Amino acid sequence: MRINNATDRSQVKSAMSDGLSSMIDCLPILKTGEAIVTGEAAKLPMRFKFRIPKTGQCPDSHDPKVSNSWSRDYHPNDFTKLINAWRQQKPLKDE
């Protein structure tokens, strides 16, 4: 993920161990679809390139229309049955 903003880079740098924090300087030069992979699953930090989906292969997802929800009247929901099912670890059955 390319991060050009110095403030954003410092936030990422503070979350990394001291030995890996020098890699943050490489973030602005990453190309589209590239990332630096670190963590327990990667023995060594590596540069990784994601395959960009072809036209028509992208997920068919949409962001929620939050502003539309804000303009509706508020109707409180009763989540009592859901909370009880969650606490008892018993899934709700469709009625």
**What span, in angstroms and rounded, lies between the C-alpha atoms of 94 and 27?**
48
Q: Does residue 69 form part of some domain?
A: no
Looking at the structure of the chain, the number of domains it has is 1
Q: Does residue 92 form part of some domain?
A: no
Q: What is the pLDDT along the chain (95 residues), one digit of tens a residue?
A: 567 778 887 887 787 777 777 777 777 888 888 888 888 888 888 888 988 888 888 877 788 888 888 888 888 889 999 899 999 998 888 76
Q: Does residue 58 form part of some domain?
A: no
Q: Does residue 37 form part of some domain?
A: yes
Residue span of the structural domain in which 18 resides: 6-49
Q: Which two tokens stand for residue 23?
A: 């890699």
Whether this prediction's pTM lies above 0.75 is answered by no
Q: Does residue 82 form part of some domain?
A: no
Q: Does residue 66 form part of some domain?
A: no
Q: Which two tokens stand for residue 56?
A: 């028509």
Q: Does residue 10 form part of some domain?
A: yes
Alpha-carbon dihedral sign for residues 60, 66, 32, 14:
negative
